Amino acid sequence: MHEQETRNTSAWRSRIGASALAAALLVVGGLGAVALTSPSANAHDRSASEPSRSLAAKVQRLEDIEDIHQLKARYFRFVDEKKHDELAALFTPHAKLVTDGITWKSPKDFAYTIRDLTGKAPSAHSGMMPEITITGPNTASGIWSMQDVLTFPAGKDAPQGHHGYGQYRETYRKIDGKWLIDSVLLTRFRMDPIPNWTPPNTAASEGAPSQAAPAK
């Protein structure tokens, strides 16, 4: 009887030991599975987030390019509208400007010289086919084809007007979230002289009373 109980106890301990070993293997196997699957899961999370970052970067790039387009459009408009202070404000404080071989001391020197030389002479500037490259988080470069028409009122000793064709090569810098022109190199490829032109004076016609139609 005692021998039988001893055998039963040994068998019971063996079963308990086997169960404990199996449980331990399951736990270790589970930990191993976690260890093996966790990096894969993390990699999946990373790969899922990468397209989002890539899309955000692309959207930011397109927004920056559009902002630079708007910046250059204002440059041309301010020249033609004779808004010289606004023109100077489109540049970084120490921007380098070279136009037709002339190096300007500062953006204000550039803008105010245009003011003094052209006065109220009508002009029309345009830029086409921009090639904008975002070179960093806050830097960019651009190449623009350009044309400009400048005429002076006809009269004795009036300067010669021209129709010019050329190219801008520029760099840009974003300061406090705003793109500004950081350097300009304007090279003209062709200059055609054109006759001077005096704009019609429309003030009198605009202020004159309209004539009533004759009564029938």
Q: For the segment 167-186, what is each residue's pLDDT rounded down to a tens digit?
A: 999 999 999 999 999 999 99
pTM of this structure: 0.70
The CA distance from 151 to 137, in Å, is 41
Average pLDDT, the chain: 80
Rounded (10°) CA dihedral 135, 136, 139, 140: 20
pLDDT tens-place string over residues 113-161: 999 988 889 999 999 999 999 999 999 999 999 999 999 888 888 888 9
- Cα–Cα distances (Å) from 199 to 20, 46, 63, in that order, read 102, 64, 39
What confidence tier does 198 reach under pLDDT thresholds 50, 70, 90? confident
Looking at the DSSP assignment, which residues form a beta bridge with residue 147? 126, 165
pLDDT tens-place string over residues 11-23: 545 554 545 444 4
**Contact indicator for 143, 131 with CB cutoff of 8 Å:** yes
| Range 200-206 average pLDDT | 52
Q: Please give the pLDDT value at position 58.
A: 94
Q: Please give the pLDDT value at position 210.
A: 42
